[in-house]
Structure 1
Amino acid sequence: KKNVDIYLNALEQNKRWLQNPNLSSQTKIAYPQNNSKNNNQIIIGIGSSGPTKKWPTKNYIELIKRINNKNIKFYLAGGNNEIENQIANEIINEVKESRIESLCFLNIEEIMPIINSSKLYIGNDTGFMHLSAGLNISAIGLFGDTPLSYAKYTKNILPIIPENFKTVGHNSMAMNQITVDQVLKEVKKFI
Structure 2
Amino acid sequence: MKKQFQKKKILIIKFGGLGDFFLSMQAFNAIRIHHFKDELVLLTEKNYVKIANKSGYFDKIKSIERSIFYFLDRLTIKKLINISKINFVYDLQTSKRSSSYIRLFYGTKTQWSGIAENCSHPHKNPRRNFIHTNLRLKDQLKDAGIKSYPKANLNWITKNVKPYDFKNYAILIPGGSKKRKYKRIPIFIFNEIIKKLLAQKIKPILIGSKDDESVCKQINKYNSSVINLCSKLDLFELAMLGKKSKIVIGNDTGPMHLMAQLDCLTLSLFTKYSDPILCGPQGKNVKILNVDNYDLTTKSIEKIINNC
The aligned counterpart of 2:283 is: 154
- 8 Å contact from structure 1 (residues 59, 180) kept in 2: yes
Q: Deviations over 1:100-131 (max 9, x none)?
A: 22233322123221112212111101111111
Residue type of the partner of 2:220? I
Q: Which structure 2 segments of 5+ residues have no match?
A: 1-13, 22-47, 56-155
The structure-2 alpha-carbon separation of the partners of 1:89 and 1:163, relative to structure 1 and needing over 3 Å to count, comes to closer
- Bigger shift: residues 45-54 or 4-13: 4-13
Q: Deviations over 1:114-172 (max 9, x none)?
A: 112212111101111111111110111111122122237434221101457xxxxxxxx
Residue type of the partner of 1:148? P
The aligned counterpart of 2:160 is: 15
Which of 184, 196, 206 is residue 66 of structure 1 equivalent to? 196
Q: How does 1:22-101 map to 2 (within 5 A)?
A: 27-28=164-165, 40-49=168-177, 50-69=180-199, 71-81=201-211, 84-97=212-225, 99-101=226-228
Amino-acid identity (%): 24
The aligned counterpart of 2:300 is: 182
The structure-2 alpha-carbon separation of the partners of 1:183 and 1:64, relative to structure 1 and needing over 3 Å to count, comes to same
Give the superposition deviation at 1:178.
7.0
The structure-2 alpha-carbon separation of the partners of 1:70 and 1:101, relative to structure 1 and needing over 3 Å to count, comes to farther
- 8 Å contact from structure 1 (residues 120, 139) kept in 2: yes
The structure-2 alpha-carbon separation of the partners of 1:114 and 1:80, relative to structure 1 and needing over 3 Å to count, comes to same
The root-mean-square deviation of aligned C-alpha atoms, in Å, is: 2.8
Higher relative contact order (CA 8 A, sep 6+): 1
> Residue 246 of structure 2 aligns to a residue in which SS?
strand
- 8 Å contact from structure 1 (residues 80, 104) kept in 2: yes
Compare the two structures and name the one with the higher helix fraction.
2
Give the superposition deviation at 1:13.
5.0
- 8 Å contact from structure 2 (residues 270, 290) kept in 1: yes
Residue type of the partner of 2:300? Q
* Matches of 2:189 and 2:220, distance apart in 1: 13
Give the superposition deviation at 1:177.
8.5
- 8 Å contact from structure 1 (residues 103, 111) kept in 2: no
Count of aligned pairs between the two proteins? 159
Which of 268, 280, 297 is residue 141 of structure 1 equivalent to? 268
* Matches of 2:181 and 2:263, distance apart in 1: 27
* Matches of 1:95 and 1:66, distance apart in 2: 12
- 8 Å contact from structure 1 (residues 142, 178) kept in 2: no
Q: Calculate the TM-score normalised by the size of structure 1.
A: 0.70
The structure-2 alpha-carbon separation of the partners of 1:120 and 1:109, relative to structure 1 and needing over 3 Å to count, comes to same
Q: Which structure 1 segments of 5+ residues have no match?
A: 19-26, 30-37, 165-175
- 8 Å contact from structure 2 (residues 266, 286) kept in 1: yes
